[in-house]
Each structure stands twice: as structure tokens, then as C-alpha cells.
């Protein structure tokens, strides 16, 4: 055998090894794609199984949100009613104060006048235990 024969033999073995490596690589890629497909099918089944509970949960949350919204509306109406009542009460208190204030001032003036008159009366009467003023 000559060196040229060894070279051709080495090239043939290298080509055979390369072809075997490429065949192995293609087989592994095929297995990966097949497993990926079956994995994606399992994921789709899981997602289909989760769809109904998630949909029910979202519907429940939507119902709760609607109830909370209705409750907030009721609380708002109650608050407005309380504000109107408080406003009416404040107006009534202002009217009562404006009606009573002159009367109280008159009574205070009358009491002050009576007190002043009594002081003058008892000061002028010296013989009845009058003050030394």
C-alpha cells in the first residue's frame, strides 16, 4: 500500500465518521422535536383543564367587584343623606340661635338692671344694714 492509499482510506474513514455524527445528530434532533410536540400537547391539555376554573374564578371576582360597586353606591347615597341631614340640622341650630340670642340678651339685660337697682336700693337705705359705700 502506498501513502496515497492510506490518504484515501483516512479520508473515507473521516467521511464515514462525519456521516455517522450527522446521522446521530439528525436522530437526536428528531427525538427532541417529537418530545417537544408531545410536551406541547400535554401543556395544552393542562391549560385546557385550567381554563374552566380560571374562568369561574374570574366570573366570581367580577361578581364580587359588582357587589362592592353596588355597596359603594349605597354608602355614597347614605353619606349624601347624612350630609343633607347635617346641613338641615345646622340651619335649624342657626335659626334657633338667632331666635334665642335676642331673648337671652334681654333676660341678661333685665337681670343686670334688677341687680343694679337692688344695689342702689340697698345702698340708699342706711338704717337697714346698708353698705358703707
Q: Is the pLDDT of residue 18 over 90?
A: yes
pLDDT, one tens digit per residue, over 76-99 is 999 999 988 888 888 888 888 888
3-state helix, strand, coil in the chain (%, to 5): 95, 0, 5
Q: Given a cut of 90, is residue 117 above it in pLDDT?
A: no
Q: Rounded to whole angstroms, how far apart are CA atoms 16 and 90?
A: 103
Percent over 70 (pLDDT), the chain: 92
- pLDDT of 128 > 80? The answer is no
The answer, as to whether pTM is greater than 0.75, is no
Rounded Cα–Cα distance for residues 54 and 96 (Å):
62
Task: Enter the C-alpha cell of residue 111.
Answer: 337681670
Amino acid at each position: 500500500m502506498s501513502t496515497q492509499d492510506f490518504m484515501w482510506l483516512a479520508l473515507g474513514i473521516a467521511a464515514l465518521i462525519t456521516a455517522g455524527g450527522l446521522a446521530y445528530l439528525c436522530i437526536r434532533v428528531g427525538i427532541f422535536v417529537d418530545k417537544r410536540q408531545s410536551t406541547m400537547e400535554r401543556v395544552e391539555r393542562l391549560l385546557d383543564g385550567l381554563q374552566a376554573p380560571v374562568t369561574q374564578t374570574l366570573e366570581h371576582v367580577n361578581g364580587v367587584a359588582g357587589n362592592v360597586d353596588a355597596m359603594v353606591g349605597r354608602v355614597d347615597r347614605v353619606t349624601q343623606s347624612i350630609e343633607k341631614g347635617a346641613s338641615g340640622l345646622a340651619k335649624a341650630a342657626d335659626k334657633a340661635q338667632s331666635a334665642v340670642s335676642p331673648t337671652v340678651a334681654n333676660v341678661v339685660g333685665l337681670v343686670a338692671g334688677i341687680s343694679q337697682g337692688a344695689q342702689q336700693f340697698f345702698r340708699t337705705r342706711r338704717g337697714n344694714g346698708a353698705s358703707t359705700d
